[in-house]
Amino acid sequence: MTLARAPFGRRLLVGAVFVALIPVLVAVALWTTPDVSARNAAQIARQGGIPTTRAERAVLMDAESGAIVFQHNADELAPPASMSKLMTLAVVFRAIKAGEIKLDDDILISVNAWRRGGGPSGTSAMLIPVNTKEKLDLLLQGIIVQSGNDASIAVAEALAGSEENFARLMRDEARRIGLTKATFGNATGLPHDDQLMTVRELAELARFLMREYPEHYSRFSQRELQYRKHRFLNRNPLVGVAGVDGLKTGHIKAAGFGVVASANQDGRRLILVLSGLEKREDIRTEGQRLFEWGFANIADARLFDADEVVGEARVWGGDRMWVPLKGKGPISIVLPKFPANQKLKAEIVYKRPLKTPIARGDRVATLRVTSSTKAMSEIPLYASEEVKPGGIVRRGIDTLVHMTLGWLL
């Protein structure tokens, strides 16, 4: 894909975090993806290149770059149901990595875990007998394959003393990862007023788990679990379909059916999150269709070469007013191939005022590129030159400008 890029123009935007616009236009758009028939690609093109979905909320993300190639109500908070168990697992995986708990540790199934998440609860459970102990490794299998609420509560109690305390750990971990909207009231995803996430956050969480804890990712492709007299089959109907090898489904009445799934084809990995589906069967049909569209319809597009200046950011109180910005190496984005000639809006985003000292190589901004199809890529930008603190006159002038015309900074 080749791009025709207009010259960079410094135009400042009103707002807390901005800036400049870099207009871009996709000039040449199509080529064939390996192992995808021309007929399928042509069908997608005739349909306008933009898929629809039965899900109330959806997002399709490129796992390598984090680029969003399709979204629908992606930032709407909704109950994530058992998909929030991915955050439960994030807390547990971090504790394992820190040596706070081990896979062969025995975990007690308390009366509370048994009553609220086990057989008496009537919810998805491993059906572990009350007051027995099982290894953490087994409970993790139960959480992933069977979505065991008894296992989730027992692990939460083992790590934090109570499920309520564990929910606070989940919120803290969400903020550490960078999820700013998610809130949690329990470790299971059962109905709770505080159990809310967006599908964008769920995709970002899945991407985090794959990158931060690759040693545990294979757990999500486990097809079945034999426990005592029970044989549990993985509740994710997409596992094994279209290259899907994880992650987690969820369902409660208030949220409908949902899934967080990841698939790998020909070296490209996509993450799909669907929420608010009416039927369980929709997980497979909608998921397979959107993955098929994604792998057939997206490709990389080069925006800037290595060492090419992308733009500038306004500096407060420095020995220069602007710092030039570059990527680390060439800057490419992920875009749908169809429709052709998409218009792109590129914004340089940063927190203002940008203060000195700034060292060469410091990350100071983000290049956010949005297409007319709502595809979005965000690329870190770094200072290509050092900016030292300016003198008292410079700081005074910048302070005055910031107080009177703050949007200019």
Name the residue with higher pLDDT: 272 or 401: 272
Beta bridge partners of 269: 264
Q: Report d(CA 277, CA 105) in Å as an integer.
A: 38
How far apart, in whole angstroms, are the C-alpha atoms of residue 372 and residue 380? Answer: 22
CB 263 within 8 A of CB 290: no
Instruction: Give residue 394's pLDDT.
Output: 59
Global pTM value: 0.85
| Peptide bond just before 339 cis, omega within 30 deg | yes
**Nearest alpha carbon to residue 406 among 356, 347, 353:** 353
Top-confidence residue, 303 or 198: 198
pLDDT attached to residue 318: 84
Q: Decide if 85 is catalytic.
A: yes
Q: What sign for the dihedral angle of Cα 37, 41, 42, 44? A: positive
Q: How remote is the C-alpha of 247 from its chain's centroid?
A: 13
Which one is catalytic: 124, 147, 152, 332?
147
Cβ-proximal residues to 95 (8 Å cutoff; 6+ apart), any chain: 101, 159
Choice among 84, 85, 262, 371 that is catalytic: 85
Closest CA to 197 of 147, 252, 149, 145: 252
Lookup: tokens for 327? 């990527």
Confidence of residue 321 (pLDDT cuts 50, 70, 90): confident
> Cα–Cα distance between 224 and 279 in angstroms, integer?
22
Encoded tokens for 117: 């998440």
Give the mean model confidence (pLDDT) for residues 305-329.
90
Contact 187/166 with Cβ under 8 angstroms? yes
82 as an active site residue: the answer is yes
Confidence of residue 8 (pLDDT cuts 50, 70, 90): very low
- Mean pLDDT is highest, among 21-30, 84-93, 289-298, for 84-93
DSSP per residue over 283-352, as a string? HHHHHHHHHHHHHHHEEEEEEE-TT---EEEEEESBSSSEEEEE-SS-EEEEEE--SSS-EEEEEEE--S
User: What are 106-150's pLDDT values in tens digits?
Assistant: 999 999 999 999 999 999 999 999 999 999 999 999 999 999 999
DSSP, residue by residue, 346-387: EEEE--SSEESPB-TT-EEEEEEEEETT--EEEEEEEESS-B
In this structure, the dihedral spanned by the alpha carbons of residues 145, 150, 153 and 159, taken in order and rounded to 10 degrees, is: -70
Q: How far does CA 166 lie from the centroid of its chain?
A: 22
Helical spans, DSSP H, in 130-228? 136-141, 149-160, 163-177, 199-212, 214-217
Reply yes or no on whether the pLDDT at 339 is more than 90.
Answer: no
- The answer for 73, left when phi > 0, alpha when psi is -120 to 50, beta otherwise, is left
Which domains does the chain carry? 3-31+303-408 (2.60.410.10), 81-235 (3.40.710.10)
CB 78 within 8 Å of CB 257: no
**Both structure tokens of 37:** 């028939």
| DSSP reduced 3-state for 85 | helix
In contact, 254 and 239? CB cutoff 8 Å: no
Comparing CA positions, the residue from 8, 17, 6 lying closest to residue 309 is: 8
Q: How far apart are CA 249 and CA 238, in angstroms?
A: 10
Backbone phi, then psi, for 63, in 5-degree steps?
A: -70, -35
DSSP state of 142: I
| Cα Rg of the chain, angstroms | 24
Question: Cα–Cα distances in Å, from 120 out to 96, 146, 196?
Answer: 30, 16, 25
CA dihedral of 393, 8, 14, 59, whole degrees rounded to 10: -130
Choose the most confident range, by mean pLDDT, from 30-44, 212-226, 345-359, 364-378: 212-226
The pLDDT assigned to 145 comes to 98
Query: Is the Cβ–Cβ distance between 347 and 20 less than 8 Å?
Result: yes
For residues 140 and 219, the answer to whether their CB atoms sit within 8 Å is yes
Listed range (228-232, 243-247, 394-398, 404-408) with the worst mean pLDDT: 404-408
Using pLDDT thresholds of 50, 70 and 90, give the confidence band for residue 204. Answer: very high
